Structure 1
Amino acid sequence: AMPATVKTVSVLDRTKESGSLGEPLYLDVVTAISQAFSNGEIASLPKIYGGRYGLSSKEFTPAMAKAVFDNAVSAKPVNGFTVGITDDVTNKSLAYDPTFDVEPDDVVRAVFFGLGADGTVGANKNSIKIIAEDAGKYGQGYFVYDSRKSGSMTTSHLRFSDNPIRSAYLINQADFVACHQFQFMNKVDILHIAKVGGTFLLNAPYPHEEVWNHLPKEVQEQIISKKLKFYTINAVEVARATGMGARINTIMQACFFAISNILPKDEAIAQIKAAIKKTYSKKGDAIVQKNYAAVDASLEHMFEVKYPDHVTSTFGRLAPVPADAPAFVQGLTAKLIADKGDSVKTSELQEVIDGTWPTGTTQYEKRCIATEIPVWDPETCIQCGKCSIVCPHGVIRMKVADEAQLASAPSTLKRADYKGKEFAGKKFILQISAEDCTGCGLCVSACPAKNKANPELHAINMDHIENHLDVEKANWKFFETLPYVKRTEVQKNLPKTTQMIRPLFEFSGACAGCGETPYIKLLTQLFGDRMVVANATGCSSIYSGNLPTTPYCKDEKGHGPAWANSLFEDNAEFGLGMRVSVDHGEETAKSLLNELKDQLGDIADKILANPQSTDAEIDAQRDNVQELRAKLSGISGDVAAHLMEVADYLIKKSVWIIGGDGWAYDIGFGGLDHAIASGRNVNILVVDTGVYSNTGGQQSKATPMGASAKFATAGKELPKKDLAMIAMSYGNVYVAQVAMGANDAQVIKAMNEAEAFDGPSLIIAYSHCINQGLNMAEGLMHQKDAVETGSWPLYRYNPDNIKEGKAPLMLDSKAPSKPLADYMASETRFMVVNKMNPERYSTLLNRAQEGVNEKRSLLEHMSQYK
């Protein structure tokens, strides 16, 4: 029963029910108390106020709870309030003091800022286990990160205590703050969360004596005013020296334990090494030993920074987005990029109230997350375009220009005489957007050119970003003022020519070295100005449509891909519906056009006669439609008005259904089969990683025999599902199996043929992935090995060949030149099976090799069949 002394009741709902008199729990409480009063069960009716909290996963902290109590006892309490959100539209939100803190002093609070895929989150989870499970203390962890695959900021909130921890909210006053990525210091307010007298650990690419001079004014001011103990380490250099690559997690973890004194240093190091062995033992002893070496080296390279009592920096923190960004990007988008999403006010969302967000906004992020970037050597370059075509994030661009266009270019802008007939007499420029690069190194591994003076160097080579950043920023700014080659000016059949066209998919949130995005980027260079995309849920939907920025963009005429994401299981049907809709729109427009032929004159015949089989014809059709609209504006009546609405359907659309193997082989296979069997002109691109990449590496029916994956840790027993052969069995489907790292020209040819084929087309693209257990910088070599061992044969099946008396199947890869064992030995997903059970691995390897031999024989036989 409710105590008789209760004067006021505040009810909090975690939902908003528009149109009702109040939220559900509030109405229940009002009803219950009113009935109790009516029945005489309570002597007086208390005041009852309702409010909302925790909407969209907003925090609910003691400070907010205090605001609710303060509201209840105020002179004019607000009913229907919100707390945790600043609602400046209805002005019914409660103000609260974010510094209000009720946590006990014995709780150690630590916050770590890392970069997605740098291992920070994983290391912190291990830290909790070490302290809470092994040391007998209490531990708690909250981890904040967006859905991008890697490369965005992760924040780990850790609490430790000798007593139970009751705080079910993020830390707002931290004893220990660690920043694992130096570039955050220039863009994000990291130290706002540090308490006075706390400790700050920074991973910096500079000697400890120089770190202070590289910090912005705001950061220096915070360190001084909060009297922080300041430590630094060049963790990237330690990782490189100990063979850890870009993984700095165990290095920073060791530094944390050494500084925090939560455990005695020797005990902490022993526990870290035990956790390393438990975590990485399946990946081989070499990995374990590298981690051990990194831990041992970390403490030797960590230093305390002694700083002055006044600010000495001459520069401030960078703005979240460039000054020339559009107003919307300068406002809401910039706030989200700066990690200030929690402070967004209701009024700031009015521009996107209909759910519409602008495209092409990744170009304003300028994440600057690479420690090394590619540097172009124009004298060695053969201008093949391979570095550009494999670039997962579209940061390597190619253009040609006249000398006159380069008159105002920075002196540092590199250029060379164009090699080829298409643009003879012009200068060739290859430029890198250093701030958007992730430093994956795929461009270097793709480069076939060798420096004559030093054969170890290519025409493009990696170097420390700090040696080139300022120069390349200026170069890129000028480079963007130069026009791209038009689609009608080149034959889109080679890497060199396709890469002079502007990609309409750029700077995505995909992993560094991603094997999927080069295919999507290439599609936009071939057909992006008229693409309609249905994207299955998975990695490709995350890096394609994740807030706060969007990688799909428009060309200078405002043309670009129309993109939408549906559910995992119905994407093929979703894309088929797009095709049906486009066809219906075209048929309607042509019917109306015929009705008005007498009033429209020659333009109607021009439109109807245009086959739109080339870019030049499609450009001509755009001009035709523009002329049509001009004539329609002078014709009255419903028919003319309707034709004006659907006129754009007269321009040919390229419909693509895109997704991963988890969608195509498994969950969405029924819909995929339905789309293929429809006979409609849909193009399907399957970016095949052989696992469910987005959810962490579970096996799919595309997982190759012998590979270890979640739900098949001992090695998959059954062979990979032959999706291509299933599609070929229909006889009227264009099918291609491609691998960018093995034959980029074949990829281009397959995409062009798929688009030209009047019917369903299926392209299955080998996509290396971090879940396969490989060095992503070597992803292209793994693709090549897969082809050369016969694990991934390249071919194209074109039913149109039958009309010409040719075999529909064209084999594009030679007979295997290496045993399958060579390919499998280079990837952890196979080697972990060998480590666990060599006998089982040997059996699966032999069976897989037999499968490769049989598949090759079948394909060779099919290639002779006409």
Structure 2
Amino acid sequence: MKKIIDGNYACSYVAYNFIEACGIYPITPSSPMSENIDVFSNVDKRLNYFKDRVKLYEMQSEAGAIALCHGLLQNGTFSSTFTASQGLLLMLPNMYKIAGEMLPFVINVASRSIATHALSIFGDHQDIYAARTTGFAIFLSSSVQQVMDLTSAVYLSTIDSNISFINSFDGFRTSHEYQKVNLIDLNEINKYINKNKIEEFRQRALYKNNVTRGTHLNDDLYFQLSEAHNIYYNKLPEIVEKNLEIVNKITNNDYHIMDYYGSKKAKKVIVAMGSVCQTIREVCDNSEEEIGLVEIHLFRPFSIEYLNKILPSTVESIAVLDRTKDSGEVAPLYLDVLNALKNKNIKVLGGRYGLSSRDTNIYDIKAVYDFLDQEDTFDNFTIGIIDDLNNKSLKPVRFVKKFNNQEEILIYGYGSDGMVSASKNIISIIGEKTNNYVQGYFEYDSKKQGGLTKSHLRISNDLIKSSYYVNEPKIVVCTKTSYLEKYKMLDNIVENGIFILNTNLTDEELNNYFTDNDKKIIKDKNIKVYKVNASKIAIDNNINGKINNIMSTIIFKFIEQVNFDDIIMSLKEMIKTKFKNKDSNIIDSNLKGIDQALNLLVLVDTSKFTLNGFDLKNDLYSKLLSKRGYEISVKEVLHHVDGTFWGGMNRKETRPVADFLPVYTSSNCITCNKCSYVCPHGVIRPFLITEEEKNNAPKYIQEKLINANIPGKNYYYIIGISYKNCTGCGACFNTCPGKMLKKALDMKSSKDALTEDFIKTNDYLFENIKDKEEVFNKYTVKGSQFISPAFAFSGACAGCGETPYLKLLTQLFKDELVIANATGCSSIYGGEAPATSYSIPWANSLFEDAAEFGLGLKLGETTKKEKIKEIISINLDKIKESEKEIYLEYLNNPTIDNSKKLLSIIDNTDIKELLEYKEDIMPKSVWIVGGDGWAYDIGFGGLDHVLATGSNVNILVLDTEVYSNTGGQTSKSTNIGSVNKFAITGCKQSKKNLAKYALTYENVYVAQVSLGANPNQVINAFKEAKEYNGPSIIIAYAPCIEHGLKNGMGTSEQETKEATLSGYFPIFRYNPIDKKFTLDSKSDFDKYEDFLMSETRYKVLEKTNPFEKDMLIEKNKEEAINRYEFYKNKMEKNNE
């Protein structure tokens, strides 16, 4: 049976058969494997080999997940887990134990980079290489089909050998690549599972035997037992080879622990592992030379005997490709091959490729084979980059393929426009309805929503081995007109190719958007450019923003290898099936959109295009922002070698992605600044204008000004919108109170909003009007918003519930603020390089250690402050009398004002030693920021310890009640009844009361805040926490796209208000200074169920678990009432 699946699905499909229970923890890109296990068990009710459904347990961290698995194994229960990168590193201590105890166990790893100079979610082999000394066998697959086939061999081998395995494949390139594969027959596989070994494992269960395990040994015994393991590892290659023969028999393949591919008379051979092997096979297929490949499957233990056995006797030179960076060391696979061939007269060179999913194509591989012919070869070469610093990189060698019947399609989409889904539909329909092979791979940037997506699609009559980006597209698709000005989309398009553009512009207008480079390509390669206003078709058919089926229809029209009429019929059937439980109007609207698509497709007359001198810039940041990082050389980034980038660089990146924009009408404005307060992206700003600025302003500004309503101050007022950075979420519009039922903000389509007056007005305000940050009390909603935020234009989702808190934090404490950010949503949209969102000191360490890391930052600052005071104290006699008072004020009270006074005279000080600490004089307010996944789960131990130290640090928990960054998995902040990943039938556990826990420390400032419930309370909590000389923690309720708000994320501020009014999330403040507990909200529990049912995460219980729905909702409410009563009683008790 053939099916269109990705590598994660292939692995979990097979793994499910062999396991009884698993401990898991979400991490990209491996999370879908665990999610699939959950679905197989709880939705599909699928049975495994043991005639049971797999039990899945989500733990608080990867360390917890593998510890759980260790316990399961010791109890005679077959277990597995799924992880990558930092997750695998957290498992290392237990891995040594599990391997040492000879337990049959598999960790399935979608291999990913390790965070070093920077975090990266993308793929290479750094993580599995870090585990190579644990005693785990390491096995790799290079394609989706191989993952499907070979995962069985791994499980059979761990059962037969009692040796634990890492089952690895490349993160993203294989884990998320869609291919048409043959599903393995698990019933056939089950016939070969060794029942005796199963029973032997059961009998080793701890509870069946009065034995002691995990003992302490001394020098007289430890060494011998370590060496006793050797006989098991020596047999393992033979055991794995035997099980591969079983797989070969069932799948009609020819897999081995190492596979040779290529000429039997090869003189040049590449040795490699993982997805690059598919690319190397393609080069071998298209070469006239005698070349070959050794694909390593069983990397640990490494079989010297087998490598020598399969190498052709004609081999003269070998290149070993490692997908890792061992700084100052020779790479692991290269060392293995060197050792294996040390007695042979073969030249062996080592090279590096593909770090962090760096694309490696056939031209890079051809460069390696050609390099082996040279006399002046060298080790540690690199491919796929431009290394002009170390001069170690090989230039790609282009060649023409002998066999090339692939159709390649490259689609540039916009996050949330549905084009990735459309691409998956395209390859699924073609793959399932025709005999063609298909491949789909999808690129994403780090934006949480609204970022660039690139879909790489291939269609062929033959098996597709091209495990690299599409580099010769016949069809290029673009869904945003603005991309024409930003990206090089046509550089690799083939002769007579097709370019399809979703736009509402005329041919004449398009002439101003295409770069000269693209115009030349269109002319020289005879490219046909088509345009369609798919967005308008969607609007006309009441499916606003959903252009995926419309664009799919047009793409199908130009694919030669399919019958258009048949495919469109299949597309329509798919839509009917997908929306069969929805309103029939949804189906009709989509079908009408499909029918209209081709009728509104227009061929652009490119003969009238003229060159106008417009091309993309070539400085470092321009290249990065326009996704041309592959053009950047090593030398160009030398000054960023430690991963440091300047803050606030996203001001250089404008993203005009909004379909709708707020338009300001000053006559309806009451100057409350609430629109600015709630804006998730800091794009809407109030401006105060002096009389002089008014007189100097153009008339179109003057006529819009109103009185600022600031007592005793003669300022004019106007709202400005940074329209090029707006996401169009509508939060400002939904919040605006307006006058006389007329709002001061109106959401209009971008085309209607972007009038000449609108553009001129807003450009003038942002470019010419200076901030007036001290005019109004900043500890008010109105006053805080006159301060320019040091966090803006982030890549967060439109309407994000987290970012308004962070923006406010920077407005209140900009001069003092330092942020230590836990990994998660807030670190991804906050620390994306080069488009950094913060203009204050900001750093991220790891997911699990943010609290400790932040404490270190604070203690480092404290140490420096003590040194400064010490230097001043012992040098008071050197200070001029006229300046002594300033020094003494700083010694007694180093406030911002006193620090500024000292800084104003420090350059002329006679205390020269003090100048070394000039940058450390200003006080710093350290804030540790993270989500509930960090605070409630993986980082809870550190958070607790930091609170217990009594140190003056502030903790801000952005509580979305779900793992937002990894895709919506349950956390310990998740409430009863909430349907999330790993809680398909509704969460059964109560939400952990983190605030109540923190309140057990009487010296900790504790607050819960809710953005829209009481804005002044939010500001007061921030102020009090910062001013308290001790630890503080603020838990901020943050609606998330995973909640499924009934009226969309543009109403997140209203949602926070309803959450508090209904009693779902009460707000309060506890200040240790006076031991006063203030409950800042009242709760109307009659509104409670209505609030829950306004969010999909609760409403969907009606479908996923109708039998327990009422019970779970009632229990949720009971818990809420108990929480509120606890806080109410505490207020009464503390304030007696």
Provide the TM-score with structure 2 as the length reference. Answer: 0.68
Q: Aligned pair in 2 of structure 1 residues 28, 301: CA closer, same or farther (>3 Å)?
A: closer
Match of 1:513 in 2: 799
CA apart distance, 1:713? 1.1
2 CA distance for matches of 1:604 and 1:280? 77
Structure 1 unaligned regions, length at least 5: 38-45, 321-329, 554-560, 803-807
Q: Is the CA contact 1:435–1:469 (under 8 Å) kept in the aligned structure 2?
A: no
Measured after TM superposition, the shift of residue 705 of structure 1 is 1.6
Match of 1:721 in 2: 992
2 CA distance for matches of 1:437 and 1:696? Answer: 24
1:541 CA drift (Å): 0.5
Deviates more, 1:207-216 or 1:687-696: 207-216
| 1:694 to partner: Cα distance | 0.3
Counting only pairs closer than 5 Å after superposition, residues 308-319 of structure 1 correspond to structure 2 as: 308=605, 310-313=607-610, 315=612, 317=614, 319=616
The residue correspondences of 1:411-810 to structure 2 (distance < 5 A) are 411-413=699-701, 415-422=704-711, 424-450=713-739, 452=740, 455=741, 457-465=743-751, 467-468=753-754, 472=758, 474-482=760-768, 484-485=770-771, 487-553=773-839, 561-600=840-879, 603=883, 605-609=885-889, 618-631=896-909, 634-635=910-911, 640-641=912-913, 643-774=914-1045, 775-802=1048-1075, 808-810=1076-1078
Distance 1:845 1:54 in 2: 49
Residue 66 of structure 2 is matched in structure 1 by: none
The structural deviation recorded for 1:848 is 1.8
Return 388-397 or 727-736, whichever deviates more. 727-736
- CA offset at residue 593 of structure 1? 1.8
How far apart are 1:478 and its partner, in Å? 3.4
- Paired residues of 1:235 and 1:298 also in contact (CA < 8 A): no
| 8 Å contact kept, 2:668–2:742 | no
Could you tell me whether the CA contact under 8 Å between 2:666 and 2:706 is conserved in 1?
Answer: no
In the alignment, structure 1 residue 398 sits paired with structure 2 residue 686: yes
> What is the alpha-carbon distance in structure 2 between the residues aligned to residue 134 and residue 714 of structure 1?
34
1:246 is paired with a residue whose SS is: coil
8 Å contact kept, 1:418–1:424: no
Q: How has the CA–CA distance of structure 1 residues 295 and 858 changed in structure 2, closer, same or farther, with 3 Å as cutoff?
A: same
1:485 CA drift (Å): 4.1
Aligned position for 2:1127? 859
Q: What is the aligned partner in structure 1 of residue 674 from structure 2?
A: 386
Deviations 1:131-167 (CA, angstroms, capped at 9, x unpaired): 3245443221221122331222111111122321111
Report if the CA contact (8 A) 2:530-2:604 is conserved.
no
| One-letter amino acid matched to 1:552 | Y
SS of alignment partner, residue 174 of structure 1: coil
Q: Distance in 1 between matches of 2:415 and 2:884?
A: 55
Q: Encode CA deviations 1:428-458: one digit per residue, 9 max, x unaligned.
A: 13211111111111111111114x5xx4644
- Matched with 2:644 is 356
Relative contact order higher in (CA < 8 Å, ≥ 6 apart): 1
Which segment is superposed worse, 173-182 or 605-614?
A: 605-614
TM superposition shift of 1:261 = 5.8
Query: For residues 684 and 797 of structure 2, what CA distance do their matches in structure 1 show?
Result: 16
| Structure 1 counterpart of 2:1092, one-letter code | M
Out of 846-855 and 598-607, give the one that drifted further: 598-607
Q: 2: CA distance between counterparts of 1:778 and 1:261?
A: 45
How much does 1:422 deviate?
4.7
Listed one character per residue, the Cα deviations across residues 732-768 of structure 1 (whole Å, up to 9, x for unaligned) are: 2222211212322221121111111222211111111
- Shift, 1:73, TM fit: 3.7
CA contact (8 A) 2:671 2:709 kept: no
Q: What corresponds to 2:138 in structure 1? A: none
- Does structure 2 retain, via aligned residues, the 8 Å contact 1:484–1:501? no
Provide closer, same or farther for how the CA distance between residues 577 and 381 of structure 1 changes in structure 2, counting only shifts above 3 A. same
* One-letter amino acid matched to 1:742: A
Q: CA deviation at 1:213?
A: 7.3
1:761 partner letter: S
Distance 1:273 1:675 in 2: 57
Q: Is 1:376 matched with 2:654? A: no
Deviation at 1:113, TM superposition (A): 0.8
Q: Deviations over 1:570-591 (max 9, x none)?
A: 1111112222222222222222
Q: Is the Cα contact below 8 Å between 2:655 and 2:724 reproduced in 1?
A: yes
What letter is aligned with 1:606?
I
Please tell me whether the aligned partners of residues 589 and 647 of structure 1 are also in contact (alpha carbons under 8 angstroms).
no
Match of 1:194 in 2: 493
8 Å CA contact 1:400–1:429 kept in 2: the answer is yes
2:1081 aligns to what? 813
2:750 partner letter: H
Shift of 1:467: 4.3
**Given that residues 702 and 720 in structure 1 are in contact (C-alpha distance below 8 angstroms), is that contact kept between their aligned partners in structure 2?**
yes
Aligned-residue Cα RMSD (Å) equals 3.0
Q: Which amino acid aligns with 1:306?
A: L
User: Deviation at 1:854?
Assistant: 2.8
1:689: how far off?
0.9
1:586 & 1:486 partners in 2: Cα distance? Answer: 31
Q: Residues 185 and 215 of structure 1 are in contact (CA less than 8 Å); yes or no, is this contact kept in structure 2?
A: yes
Aligned to 1:850: 1118
| Contact map agreement 1:571 1:657 (CA 8 A) in 2 | yes
Amino acid across the alignment from 1:495: V
Corresponding residue for residue 43 of structure 1: none
The verdict on how the C-alpha distance between 1:33 and 1:794 changes in structure 2, with shifts beyond 3 A counting, is: closer
Q: Structure 1 residues 459 and 90 mapped into 2: Cα distance closer, same or farther (>3 Å)? A: closer
Q: Deviations over 1:42-87 (max 9, x none)?
A: xxxx655554433443322222222233334457666654332222
Amino acid at match of 2:489: I
Tell me how far 1:465 sits from its aligned partner.
4.6
Instruction: Look up the match of 2:440.
Output: 141
Q: Distance in 2 between matches of 1:797 and 1:660?
A: 21
Distance 1:359 1:309, change over 3 A: closer
Structure 1, 241-250 or 493-502: larger mean CA deviation: 241-250
Report the CA distance shift for 1:705/1:610 in structure 2 as closer, same or farther (over 3 A).
same
Count of aligned residue pairs for this structure pair = 820
2:869 partner letter? K
Q: Name the structure 2 match of 1:841.
A: 1109
Q: 1:755 to 1:92 in 2, by over 3 A?
A: closer
Once the two structures are overlaid, the 10-residue window that deviates more, 686-695 or 777-786, is 777-786
5+ residue gaps, structure 2, are: 1-307
Equivalent residue in structure 2 for 1:285, among 582, 601, 606: 582
Which has the larger displacement, 542-551 or 72-81?
72-81
Cα distance in 1, alignment partners of residues 969 and 855 from structure 2 = 28
1:364 deviation in Å? 0.4
Whether contact under 8 Å (1:503, 1:522) holds in the other structure is: yes
Other-structure match for 2:604 = 307
Distance 1:157 1:295, change over 3 A: farther
* 1:95-142 residue CA offsets vs partner (Å, 9 max, x unmatched): 3345x3427443221111112233322332333333324544322122
Instruction: Read off the aligned partner of 2:368 and give its amino acid letter.
Output: V
Q: CA deviation at 1:706?
A: 1.4
Deviates more, 1:355-364 or 1:845-854: 845-854
Distance 1:378 1:69, change over 3 A: same
Matches within 5 A, 1:113-262: 113-206=412-505, 215-260=514-559
Following the alignment from structure 2 to structure 1, what is the Cα–Cα distance between the partners of residues 394 and 431?
Answer: 37
User: Quick check: 2:543–2:589 contact (8 Å CA) kept in 1?
Assistant: no
In structure 2, what is the Cα distance between the partners aligned to 1:652 and 1:145?
A: 39
Identical aligned residues as a percent: 39
> What is the alpha-carbon distance in structure 1 between the residues aligned to residue 465 and residue 864 of structure 2?
59
Secondary structure of the corresponding residue to residue 856 of structure 1:
helix
* Deviation by residue 1:255-274 (Cα, 9 ceiling, x = unmatched): 32344365444543454456
Per-residue deviation at 1:216? 4.8
Q: Does 1:95 align with 2:403?
A: no
